[in-house]
Amino acid sequence: MSSDVSVVNGALLSLGARPINAFTDPTPEARIATRRYADVRDDLLRQHPWNFALKRTSLPASTTAPAWEHTNAYPVPADFLRLHELNNPTRTPYTIENTADGTIIATDLDSPIEINYV
């Protein structure tokens, strides 16, 4: 598996810039990489369900129900970027919502729900 620094260095070399040894290097390249790397990485991961980035998990319902429409709220994992699939054979409606407490999947499905996510 490539390290974050090796991924950045591949991009820097393609641009004709100097590679870095670490994100903490006192160079303009390292400072820009530190500011931009996580956002660019997450944006690319959201654009496509890359096989290496897919995870499966079961989510228990929260004790706090959504404010309206649905009966259950399922907080997503901390590393959640994008829902790829919800095991939902009955095609029960659901929404993905950002709340004050974090991102949830709001639905009438019974707990637990099974998801495949990036």
Please give the pLDDT value at position 1: 61
Please give the pLDDT value at position 101: 86
> 3-state SS of 44-92?
HHHHCCCHHHCEEEEECCCCCCCCCCCCEEEECCCCCCCEEEECCCCCC
Query: What distance lies between CA 61 and its chain's CA centroid?
Result: 20
Please give the pLDDT value at position 2: 77
Please give the pLDDT value at position 44: 92
3-state class (DSSP) for residue 28 = helix
Which amino acid makes up residue 66? P
- Determine what percent of the chain falls in helix, strand and coil, rounding each to the nearest 5: 30, 25, 45
Placement of tokens 């309206």 in the chain: 68
Per-residue pLDDT of the chain (118 residues; tens, 9 = 90+): 679 999 999 999 999 999 999 999 999 999 999 999 999 999 999 999 999 999 999 999 999 999 889 999 999 999 999 999 999 999 999 999 999 889 999 999 999 999 999 9
